[in-house]
Amino acid sequence: MSKDFEKSLERLNNQYDEMPTQSSSIKIMANIKKQKKRNWTWSKSYQRLQVAVLIALMIGIGYVLGVSQLMNQPDTAMEETASDQVGTMEGASFQAKQAESFDEEAGAVHESGEYDMGIFAAEEIDDSFLITITDEEGQEVEKQVKVFEDEQFSFSTYYDANFHVEEGVSGEGRSIQIYADYGEGPIEPLLFEMFQFESAMSYDNQVEAYRMMMNESGYTELESNDYLIEIGIPGQVVEEFLFQKDDVNVHVVPVERGEEYFFFKTSTVTNNNSEKIEYMEGYVRELNVILNQDHFMWIYN
C-alpha cells in the first residue's frame, strides 16, 4: 500500500473522530431530554402565569364589587332612616288626631250636660261586648252590654251599652241609678236603683225612713204584687213594697247583705199611660240583664 493511500485513510479517520458530538446516539438522547425539560419548564411557567392572572382578575372584580356596595350602602341607610322618620311622624300625627278627637268628644259630652248628675265614667269599662239573651217572645238575641262596678256598694253587673249610669247622693244616703235610653235620651221613670242609707239604723228604722222618703216625694203605698221577687233578686230579699204616683208604680225590695241592707227599686206604669207602656215594654228584659245571677256579682262574701 502506498504511503499516499495510508495518509488518506488516516486523514479520513481523524475527520470522523472530529464529527459533532450530537451525532452520538447517547448525546442525541440527552439533547432531546434537555429540550423536553426546557419545554416543560416553559409550560409550567405559563401555567403559573395563568393562575397569577386569574387571581389578579378575581381580586380586581372583588374590589370593584366591594366599592360598589360601599357606595350604595349610605343611600340605602338614608332611605331606611327617612322611611322610619316618616313612619314615626305619621304615627305621632295619628295619635295626636286621636287625642284631639277624644278631647273634642269629651268636651261635647261635658258641654251637653248629659253627665252632670255624677255618672261614674271612671267606674265603667269602656269596651262593650255582646251577650245572648232571651227576649219577650222567647227568642235568643244578641245584646251589646258594658260592665259596671262600684267599690262602695261592692258589686258589679252588666247593663245595656247605650243606657246611662248615675250616682245619686242625698242627706239620707247614696244610690246607683240606671236609666233606659232608646235613642232619645234618658227616660223617666228610672229602670233600676240600688240605695243604701248613710246612717247606721236597724232594719225596721230603715224601712220606716224609706217609706217616709217615698211619701214626701208624693207616692202612696199600695199592697205589693211581688213584681221584683218574681223576676228574681241576687240576694236575700226580706220583703217587697209597692208605691204609686200618678201612672207610675215603684217596686222596692230590701236585700240583706251581712249586717247591711240595700234597697233595690224599679218602675212600671199603669194602663193609663199607653205612651210610656210602649217605651217600657223592654224593662223586664233589661232588668234580667242587670239582675241575672250570671251578671250581678257581690264582690265580697
Q: State residue 274's pLDDT score.
A: 64
**What's phi and psi for 97, nearest 5 deg?**
-65, -40
The mean pLDDT of 155-175, rounded to a whole number, is: 94
The pLDDT value recorded for residue 136 is 75
Given a cut of 80, whether residue 37 has pLDDT beyond it is no
Q: What is the pLDDT of residues 237-296, one digit of tens each?
A: 999 999 999 889 999 999 999 999 999 999 998 877 667 776 677 888 999 999 998 899
User: Could you give the CA distance from residue 160 to residue 130 in angstroms, rounded to a whole number?
Assistant: 10
Residue written as cell 488516516? Answer: 10
Provide the pLDDT for residue 281.
Answer: 75
Q: pLDDT tens, 63-114?
A: 656 655 655 554 444 455 445 554 544 444 444 444 444 344 433 333 333 3
Does the pLDDT of residue 118 top 50, yes or no? Answer: no
Pair 193, 165: CB distance under 8 Å = no
Does 158 score more than 70 pLDDT?
Answer: yes
Residue 34's pLDDT is 52
Residue 79 grid coordinates: 332611605
- Report yes or no on whether pTM surpasses 0.75: no
User: What pLDDT digit, counting tens, does each position of 176-215 carry?
Assistant: 999 988 778 888 889 999 999 999 999 999 999 999 999 9
Over residues 106-132, mean pLDDT? 49
The four Cα atoms 178, 180, 186, 187 give a dihedral, to 10 degrees, of -110
